Every structure is written in structure tokens, then in C-alpha cells.
Homo-oligomer: A and B are copies of this chain.
Amino acid sequence: MENFTFYAPTCFVFGREKEDEVSDYVRRFGGSKVLIHYGGGSCVKSGLLGRVEGALARDGIPYVKLGGVKPNPRSGLVYEGIELCKKENIDFILAVGGGSVIDSAKAIAAGTLYDGDFWDFYEGKPVTEALPIGTVLTIAAAGSEGSPDSVITKEDGKFKRGASGEAFRPRFSILNPQLTESLSPYQTAAGITDIIAHLYERYLTTTTEVEVTDRMIEGLLLTMIHEGPRVIEDPHNYDARANIMWAGTMAHNNCCGVGRAQDWNSHNIEHELSAQYDCAHGAGLAVTMPAVFRYVMDKDVNRFAQVAVRVWGCSMDLDHPEKTALEGIQCLQNFLCSIGMPKNLEELGANAKDIPEMARRCVFGDGRPGYIEGFVRLDERDVKNIYEDMC
């Protein structure tokens, strides 16, 4: 196991109607003037935004609002948010929504305290300072409610890039599984896929002797496999939604990723898809993961066989461990299809003719060195082969 520091001081407030307590937490964590950041229709239509505004107003906490965050959140709105926060002397950002809203809020939080272009952080500058953030989560997926990460798409060039820093950990996150009941089955399934991807990206490691985090990841994967189909079958199954929601947070706050190298190449390869086609990130991952895993599994067949046996219940073929490994990858793909996710580029709405350009951008775009580093280092040809396997 490698040395690590794990500092995850987000206060998670979990359960029914917990959003009604939002102003207590804004106050506890030092907010005196708030930007409420949100997306579009659903949180307005459901009345959630109104309830949050009502809670702040009732407790005398002034706020301004900035809506309009889209899935795969864009840099344009971030610049707008930074301007607004500076002008209004905002000292706390409250994200009401899913990962896109939270990631956008994080970018605004860092940009407000920074004199340069906030995009610097998404090109590798460490995030050391940001306005404090709170969240009211509306979809179990990105894990951004407990993570130090944010992903933004730059409109100029359609680059989708991530930034990280402890200052990006929300001070509090309100997790009410009821709020996820209005999601469509497709959105729910895309969220489930994203959570599964966060677990696999950590599972694929070159670090040896990490049994504790292997086992925690496997436990969370088993949870997703059990609860995913239940919530697709009955969107109002509160307990299934609750189990998925906590699994999603634990999958990405990194308590199960410490002390081990991680992969993240499925995310890197997927980001080109959602940047180009604006598809749901989870749907893109459903297509990407099996192709990446088949491509890289020779690097450590036993690791893929291990997850096949322990999580997917495959029998170990000791004479041909690669068969067990492949069987596990197929089980993953079958599972994702069974909850309604696409299985190839066509179903995703992507076009095979764009593959060469996506492969190039993935490894060279926005200052990258000609490869992406992870469980296996992948160059342009590798990424092209992987995209072609998705056809």
C-alpha cells in the first residue's frame, strides 16, 4: 500500500426532507451571502428550488440565483458565475442539483478567489483556495457531493477536463433519496453506471497488497448490482435509492481509493464522447468501460478474474484465467444493458467517422503529451482501437 492523506471533512446530512434544514448548515459553515446555483427545469418544477429559497429567506440569509447549468457543464456559465460572485460579494455557494451543477459551483468557487482564468485549474494548476460550497443533491451519480473533483467542458474547442483540490470538498451535502425519485429510468441508469465506473477506475490498480480497498470496492459494486435493477423496476423504492445514494458517495469520496494507483482512462476516453455528442456521461461510460477493459486486461488478468469471481459470481477457470476475466467484463456489459444503457457508439448517437479525431484529441488535446496514463499507458493508436471496439 502507498502512503496517503485522507481528509474528507464534508458533513453528510442524509434522509427524508433533510433539504428543509439547509439554512442551518449554510450558517454553521459560515455562509452569510449565498449564490444558489442550479440547472433548469426539474428543480424548479419539483418545487425544490422554491423550498430552498424559502428556507434561506425564512432564516434571513440573503442570496442571489444563477441557473442554467447543463449536463456536461460549460465554461461560459462559470465565467458568468465568477462575475456575479465578485459583484455581489458572495461568500458561500449552494449547489442545488447533480454532479454538473456541483462541478460548475466548484469552478465558480475557485475562480472567484483567483485573479487569472479559472481554466488554469483545469489544465493542471492545483486548487488551493475556493469559496465554501454546500450541496443539495438530486441525482446519485457523480459523487461530486463528497469529492475534491470537478469536470468542466470548455466551449472553445469542446475540451472536457477535470480539476482537483481539497478546497473543492463541499462543507456539507444534503442527501435526500426522495429527490432522486423523479429522475427518468435512463437518468437513473446513467447515474448507476457512473458510480460503477468510479469503483472500477479505482479497482484497476498497479499497486499490490491493497486488500482492504479491493474489498470495500467489491462491496460497493455488489450493492450497485443488487439495488440498480430494483430502482429501475420501481423508481419509488426509497430504500434502493438510499442504498445507491450512499454507495455513490462512498464510491467517490476516495475512502476506498486511498493508498493505490487508480486508472481513470475510461473517464478520459468517455469525456471525448460526451464533449462531442453531449450524451449522458454515464451512458458514454457504459459503452467505454467494456471496450477499455478488454483492451487492457492482459496487463493483469488476475485482477480482472478477481472481480469476475468476487463480484459477478463467475467460476474461476484456473487453466484459462483470461476466460474468467472476459466473462466478468461481459457480465458488466450485460448488466449495464439490462438497466437500459447503450452498448455501442451507434446506440449512443456517436459516429464512427469521428473516431480518429476523438482519439487525437484525447491524447494530444489541451496540452496532453500524446498519451493518457492510467492502469495502462494508452497512445493515440490504442485509443483509436478502443473506440473501434465500441462500434
Is A259 at the interface (CB under 8 A from chain B)?
Answer: yes
- With A212-B243, A220-B215, A239-B209 known as contacts, the answer to whether A12 contacts B1 (CB < 8 A) is no
Instruction: Flag whether A2 is at the interface (Cβ < 8 A).
Output: yes
A215 touches B210 (CB 8 A): no
Chain A 214-240 interface 0/1 with B at a Cβ cutoff of 8 Å (1 = within)? 011111101100110000000000011
Binds B, one of A14-22, A37-45, A91-99: A14-22
Of the residues B8, B212, B215, B243, contact of A1 by C-beta under 8 Å: B243
Within 8 A of B (CB), among A1-45: 1-16, 18
Q: Does A247 contact B (CB under 8 A)?
A: yes
Count this chain's copies in the assembly. Answer: 2
Q: Is the CB of B3 within 8 A of A14?
A: yes
The answer to the question of A211 belonging to the interface, with a C-beta cut-off of 8 Å to chain B, is yes
Q: Which residue of B lies closest to A7 (CB)?
A: B11
Q: Is A307 an interface residue (CB 8 A)?
A: no
Binary flags per residue of A239-254, CB closer than 8 Å to B gives 1, else 0 = 1101110110010000
Q: Tell me whether B227 and A222 are in contact (CB under 8 A).
A: no
Question: Is A280 interfacial (CB 8 A cutoff)?
Answer: no
Residue pair A14, B258 in contact (C-beta under 8 Å) = yes
Answer whether A211 and B243 are a contact pair too, CB < 8 Å, given A216-B216, A250-B255.
Answer: yes
Question: B239 touching A1 by the CB < 8 A rule?
Answer: yes
A90 → B minimal CB distance (Å): 24
A16 with B3, Cβ < 8 A, contacts A210-B243, A215-B219, A219-B218 known: yes
C-alpha gap A15/B258 in the complex (Å) = 11
Which residues of A line the B interface, CB within 8 A? 1-16, 18, 208-213, 215-220, 222-223, 226-227, 239-240, 242-244, 246-247, 250, 255, 258-259
